Amino acid sequence: MNRSKALVVYSGGQDSTTCLFWAKKHFAQVEAIAFNYGQRHVVELTAASNIAKAAGVPLHIFELDLLSSVSHNALTDKDINVESDQPDHRPPNTLVEGRNMLFLTYAAIFAKSNNIHDLITGVGQSDYSGYPDCRNDFILSLNQTLNLSMAYEYRIHTPLMWLNKSEIWRMADELDVFDLVRNQTITCYHGIPGDGCGTCPSCKLRNRGLVKYLNSEANGQIE
Ligand code: ZN
């Protein structure tokens, strides 16, 4: 089995970029896969391409616009506003149902045809925001299903699964890509790079973690 080659499910955001560099540290050969699924801002894919190029990682981008036509959500439908809060604890309206399952499934198909067994995804459940397919139980289940469906042994790695945003900033710093992640990635639901708009749920989460991490560094504290 080839354990030297890994495939990162990539989006150009903070989490998957941190994973990209984590992968470079742990695997001799890294490739990345990204999907155009009608997300609001194709600028994300431009960021993904630029970062992957700078990192020396081949990036394969595939069209998956079916995802935005089978259901509607604020991330792919420009007529739906991004909610800043969910008062009744339901998932945010930026949830794209089934997205991670589809991404990982397509990534797995691509991986098998390229003799890759190790898949890396930046999902996590510490800052659980109501996306069921970010949870560890789902990843373990899908790993088993993929193995059975293609009679092939996959290993899905989730280096961020148990980290909060502040700890993800620390990981980027330890991987020597803090500035790159801070300035070049796009996490904002409005497609604004770096620190973003500051008001959408994604920016709030990212920036809270950043402030917490910078404060802990300034105070010399280990959280
Ligand atoms: Zn934002």
Q: Is 47 a domain residue?
A: yes
Mean pLDDT value across residues 113-126: 95
CA distances from 154 to 22, 108, 121 (A): 18, 8, 13
Q: How far apart are CA 215 and CA 185, in angstroms?
A: 21
CA pair distance 209, 10, nearest whole angstrom: 21
Q: pLDDT value at position 128?
A: 64
pLDDT value of residue 1 = 44
Is residue 223 one of the residues assigned to a domain? no
**68-72, 76-80, 129-133, 181-185, range with the lowest pLDDT:** 76-80
Total domain count for the chain?
1
CATH at 28:
3.40.50.620
Q: How far is the CA of 75 from the centre of ligand 1 (A)?
A: 12
Q: 5-14, 70-79, 110-119: lowest mean pLDDT where?
A: 70-79
Measured in angstroms, how far is the CA atom of residue 5 from the centroid of ligand 1? 34
Note whether residue 143 is domain-resident.
Answer: yes
- Residue range(s) defining the domain that contains residue 96: 5-218
pLDDT value of position 201: 85
CA of 117 to the centre of ligand 1 (A): 35
Dump pLDDT digits (tens) for 73-103: 655 666 666 665 555 555 565 567 888 999 9
DSSP 91: P
